[in-house]
Structure 1
Amino acid sequence: MFDFEGISMTRCFTDNWEKVQNFQARPDDILIATYPKAGTTWVSYILDLLYFGNDDLERQTSQPIYMRIPFLELCFQEFSTGTEMADNLPTSPRLIKTHLPVQLVPKSFWEQNSRIVYLARNAKDNAVSYFHFDRMNMVQPEPGDWNSFIQKFMKGKNVFGPWYDHVSGWWEKKQTYPNLLYLFYEDLVEDTGREVERLSSFLGLSTSVEEREKIIKGVQFDAMKQNNMTNHVTLPFMDFKISPFMRKGKVGDWKCHFTVAQNEQFDEVYKQKMKKTTVRFRTEI
């Protein structure tokens, strides 16, 4: 990990940087933006089904989600770069995902007035999920034990930078950029149907009740965990013997990880880091 444009990064997200920054967005593109482990694959799959669930069954059964929805800044030797994959997408609209903080998003997305869906997850559950992800993902930095990971998280020394700046930066952008829908992971867990309706409305899509019910059923956590097109089991650099990519998908699992002392310290740091923003999170539902 190294400091890059003011945040912690690894080479697999910076080696193609010039092409990322010069990426040409289109007016009908939909950018899915999240901090890592905030429900990216979940909201990606919902969008994929909303747009293409009816007319392309082969796409759903033969192409993993990471091929259908390219990861813009990704640059691995084993794969085409994210920018290449996005440029070669045959779909309209193109669904593209990013973990970049708002200030590093290619400017063409703003210039083209592309629609953006941001999904945010409460810091405690997000930290737990990120910890287990770093344990099983061989291209991420070694997380160490839980206590050292949580100290690092509070200092903002994770890949893609501090959670605090990420969620509040995108929240501020929402105030001035109307084509941005800001969703919360906890709301999706609480009432998936309601949030799917919000998404449909934002995107100007009309879906029938039957279609929506089918989508809601398909995007339930257990269904996605069993689905080899969404569970990332086909990626060679993830060690599923250590942890699955989709682990629990619950709100409040942080209580199984944080000690009382860690929780008190975390709350103190959180209060300081988030005092200037109006975005509010639920840590249980």
Structure 2
Amino acid sequence: MEESRKKFVGFIDKALATASTMHRDELLFSYKGIPYPRAFYSPETFKALESFEARSDDVILAAYPKSGTNWLSQILTDLIAISQKKTPGSESSVNAEEPEEFPYLEAGDAEKFERMTKLPSPRFMVTNLRPENLPQSIFKNNAKILLLIRNPKDVATSYYHFSNGVTTVPSYETWDDFFTDFMTKKTAWGCYLEYLSEWNKYADKENIMTITYEEIKENPALSVKNIATFFGIALTEEQLQLVVERSSFQSMKKNSDKTHGSFGKVLFRKGGVSDWKNLFSEDQNVKMDKAFEEHIAGTTLGKKLKYDLYCKA
């Protein structure tokens, strides 16, 4: 167990160390028009990913960065442990909880996909990619995807604090500078609203379940129950409460040194809703509202985000 976790944390620490030696202008590279952090990704890995063969029982979490990815990863690894008749957090759940490969599908070396063919099912993987940049086998083989989305103003706010806490993406002297880059597609992973628009084309497929950060905050137990049902995992009331408890912000923040190394201090900052109100100016609110209207309002995902509730002052 300790060995696997060390490998996971080691990958992150190595990326942070690599990025710390780079000039700001070297941190990102572009692949198919979208910027990505060079310390985590490479064109060779993206190219190798194209021929990756997904399995129908793969468990996939798709989310734009700073949407609550680590939170949902915790929930899903615990659910996988339960599906394998193991108790989350116990020594026996090692296989489900300790990834043998860094779980972000597109991150790491190009040979990882060959190693992944030897991993037992169900394989858990996370992706920050838009659907058109994922291997087609995922859709062809009907692998189940949990699509996690969050209101765009909180995504931008969380991303700003994140960018100033890590070495892997460019940092910003001011929020205004970051907001300008975020809205003009210059930040890593590209435009969030375009990300939503692309995923919206897949939102009605049976093998995709969409859940929002906000609805999980409102009712964690119901959300975990719905996720488990989607992946066909039976839960007792006791197991449900254990998953909810272990995935609480307080619990994850407390264990972040062990689970994510030095990265944990940056990942688990506030874990709340509406922090955007502390940063957005009136003009920035207008710009984001207009962009939301143009890209995603009125669509399946746009409605699910409840923009008027969470993004109007």
Q: Describe the shift of the 1:66–1:51 C-alpha distance in structure 2 as closer, same or farther (beyond 3 A).
A: closer
Deviates more, 1:268-277 or 1:54-63: 54-63
Alignment partner of 1:123 is 2:152: yes
For 2:104, which of 51, 59, 71 is the aligned residue?
71
Indicate conservation of the 8 Å contact 2:67/2:149, yes or no.
yes
Match of 1:55 in 2: 86
How do 1:5-84 residues align onto structure 2 when only pairs under 5 Å count? 5-11=32-38, 12-15=40-43, 16-53=45-82, 55=86, 57-58=90-91, 70-75=103-108, 83=113
Displacement after TM superposition at 1:171 (Å): 2.2
Match of 1:107 in 2: 136
Deviates more, 1:21-30 or 1:114-123: 21-30
Q: Which residues of structure 2 form unaligned runs of 5+?
A: 1-27
| Alpha-carbon distance in 1 for matches of 2:111, 2:160 | 26
Letter in 1 for 2:218: E
Deviates more, 1:250-259 or 1:263-272: 263-272
| Alpha-carbon distance in 2 for matches of 1:147, 1:270 | 19
Letter in 2 for 1:193: A
Match of 2:284 in 1: 262
Q: Deviations over 1:36-78 (max 9, x none)?
A: 11011111111111120551622768997665761111127xx
| Alpha-carbon distance in 2 for matches of 1:85, 1:239 | 27
Indicate conservation of the 8 Å contact 1:34/1:118, yes or no.
yes
Alignment partner of 1:180 is 2:182: no
Indicate conservation of the 8 Å contact 2:77/2:97, yes or no.
no
Displacement after TM superposition at 1:127 (Å): 0.6
TM-score norm. by structure 1 comes to 0.86
| Alpha-carbon distance in 1 for matches of 2:220, 2:101 | 22
> Which structure features the higher share of helix residues?
2
Alignment partner of 1:200 is 2:234: no
| Alpha-carbon distance in 2 for matches of 1:83, 1:135 | 32
Match of 1:217 in 2: 245
Displacement after TM superposition at 1:83 (Å): 3.5
TM-score norm. by structure 2 comes to 0.79
Q: Which residues of structure 1 form unaligned runs of 5+?
A: none
SS at match of 1:13: coil
Displacement after TM superposition at 1:172 (Å): 1.8
Letter in 2 for 1:109: I
Q: Deviations over 1:107-157 (max 9, x none)?
A: 111121111111001000001111111112211223442111111111222
Match of 2:31 in 1: 4
Q: Describe the shift of the 1:239–1:173 C-alpha distance in structure 2 as closer, same or farther (beyond 3 A).
A: closer
Letter in 1 for 2:176: N
Q: Describe the shift of the 1:270–1:48 C-alpha distance in structure 2 as closer, same or farther (beyond 3 A).
A: same
Letter in 1 for 2:107: L
Indicate conservation of the 8 Å contact 2:256/2:264, yes or no.
no
Q: Percent identity?
A: 30
Indicate conservation of the 8 Å contact 1:73/1:83, yes or no.
no
Alignment partner of 1:250 is 2:279: no
Letter in 2 for 1:3: S
Match of 1:89 in 2: 119
SS at match of 1:28: coil
| Alpha-carbon distance in 2 for matches of 1:254, 1:195 | 24
Q: Describe the shift of the 1:136–1:110 C-alpha distance in structure 2 as closer, same or farther (beyond 3 A).
A: same
For 1:152, which of 175, 178, 181 is the aligned residue?
181
| Alpha-carbon distance in 1 for matches of 2:185, 2:92 | 37
Letter in 1 for 2:104: F
How many aligned residue pairs are there? 274
